[in-house]
Chains A and B, each alone.
Chain A
């Protein structure tokens, strides 16, 4: 009974969201255009649950590169209105569209010169009629059995806010580096801020041989470090190539006696490499895409600085394959 009721609530909210997706129209595009054209901020106002959702939308917009602030309608009428300027875009959130405190505020906001956008469930409401753009966030029914507590309607409002933020990310060409700038802490920040230097192996544990090294010695070097590969390094530390277990296997499938060969004859010359400053996330993407287990790390002119093994990075914190 309890689980069934919970599942029904989720189903009702999901239905509300699906219907919402179908109703997205030109008004949404106008809202995005108005925000992009504005040199000011997005000011969001709402009362009660809508106000709480409004605060979340503000947080999402700010973290994704759109300046936003929350204005409490009551506080606004008692002085906070001074924060609004004519270049701002005003988003009024109200499911009923008849929230008195909000509707009192809208004419004043219009007088300041802001574009007013209503996110409401009732497109014929007072709020909708007094707004420049109306976004319909209505749902057929609330999940609350009494039909009183805002449930599906606030979920719809929240989803519309996310849709707005995501579309603005694309329109404003917001990049991961910008996101990192706004998220210096937390797991997302960690995922984006760590660089290869934080994970790479350096010094004596980096397997390396000279190009003229006999393959018997090169294989011993591969065994010594246990990475399944060795770098082939010229004098002055320039990277010449790499020998992996796979290179040896492929060589043996074509030839017979590898012990007479030198590292230079068996190596893959000029392997892909990255610099120690490369974001670890990019290095992992590269390793996944090209199926690389051991990635040489070089400075800008190709001198070896270390080696990165897939296991040293995969599974650390937020690092995982994209599965592409």
Chain B
């Protein structure tokens, strides 16, 4: 049963990539280094994300090892979002149980929240009932994600790739649901907002960096680029959400922010076609992780990508 009044994190959510060794095991030293690089700047960490963290492609063992390592390293009690999506409803439930046991053993259950991409393994039909059943199995709240292109990529064309607005309305009545990571067009976003207007504290996040840079969602952004540029993403997120805090006097000048936005968009463009593979290559080149190994064999980078990357490194003096 979900604890009462869960608080959704807000701001910059960093979907951690999953550093792997060439043999496919979790690369713990690289993970520690990555965490040291991003933890100070992110408002929350997202573990095992389907887009950036290779989620369902990872074995259950690696996913749990990743969660255990992040729980262990999370000394400053940063809110942790954990992607629980499996290939089937039973996979998802199984992972939730295993992850919940890990969290309980870590002794730091505060701020943990499950993230689920329901349409990867479930249709719209019966989704509200499914979440009622899931919520009864866990003490942690959920954030669901709507990502049409991911669903299409995994399930093929012809499927309904968005959560129906009427279904979202019913799901959101469940107090275990705290928010939605949204990728899609603005009209759907507005309909979704209308659908959840009866709910207090339902938080919308941008799942698309470009969407956030253009018209930021009120809850924040899941920004894969923050694996590389966490301080820049933090400044842009703070500024976009108009957060006032200590040191605000030293927020970047608008011209600097504009240049930062261009830098983030350029990085986003470099990672657009194969996010996990491309961001890993970049992180490996700058020395944050040791290997750019991925679970699924990666296709060669598109022609011109290396030249674009070189220009990016050179323009921002990253190497």
Tell me the complex Cα distance, A285–B248, Å: 12
A177 near B317 with CB under 8 A, answer no
Give chain A's interface residue range (CB within 8 Å of chain B). 20 to 34
A301 near B318 with CB under 8 A, answer yes
B:30-58 near A, CB below 8 Å: 37, 40
Query: Is A282's beta carbon under 8 Å from chain B?
Result: yes
Tell me the complex Cα distance, A286–B231, Å: 17
Residues of A within 8 A of B259 (CB): 277
B253 near A282 with CB under 8 A, answer yes
Residues of B within 8 A of A300 (CB): 229, 231-232, 263, 316-318
Query: Is B158's beta carbon under 8 Å from chain A?
Result: no
Residues of B within 8 A of A277 (CB): 256, 259
**A-B residue pair count with CB separations less than 8 angstroms:** 45
Interface residues of A, dominant DSSP: mixed
Q: How far is the CB of B106 from chain A (nearest CB, A)?
A: 23
Q: A301-B37, A301-B286, A302-B37 are in contact. Are A177 and B250 (CB under 8 A)?
A: no
Give chain B's interface residue range (CB within 8 Å of chain A). 20 to 34
Query: Is B287's beta carbon under 8 Å from chain A?
Result: yes
Q: How far is the CB of B78 from chain A (nearest CB, A)?
A: 14
A285 near B231 with CB under 8 A, answer no
Q: A285-B249, A289-B249 are in contact. Are A299 and B317 (CB under 8 A)?
A: yes
Q: How far is the CB of B227 from chain A (nearest CB, A)?
A: 10
Q: How far is the CB of B318 from chain A (nearest CB, A)?
A: 6
Tell me the complex Cα distance, A305–B316, Å: 12
Query: Is A236's beta carbon under 8 Å from chain B?
Result: yes
- Taken residue by residue from 225 to 266, chain B's Cβ proximity to chain A (1 for < 8 Å, 0 otherwise) reads as 000110110000000000000000110011110010001000
A305 near B317 with CB under 8 A, answer yes
Residues of A within 8 A of B287 (CB): 235-236, 238
B:183-219 near A, CB below 8 Å: none
A178 nearest CB neighbor, chain B only: B255
A286 near B250 with CB under 8 A, answer yes
Spell out A's residues near B (CB within 8 Å).
175-177, 235-236, 238, 270, 276-279, 282, 285-286, 289, 299-303, 305
Spell out B's residues near A (CB within 8 Å).
37, 40, 228-229, 231-232, 249-250, 253-256, 259, 263, 286-288, 316-318
Please give 14 more A-B residue pairs, beta carbons under 8 A apart, in addition to A177-B254, A300-B263. Answer: A175-B254, A176-B253, A177-B255, A235-B287, A236-B286, A270-B40, A279-B253, A285-B250, A289-B249, A289-B250, A300-B316, A300-B317, A301-B288, A305-B317
- A-B pairs, top 9 by smallest CB distance, nearest first, are A236-B287, A177-B255, A299-B317, A286-B250, A300-B232, A300-B229, A300-B316, A270-B40, A301-B318
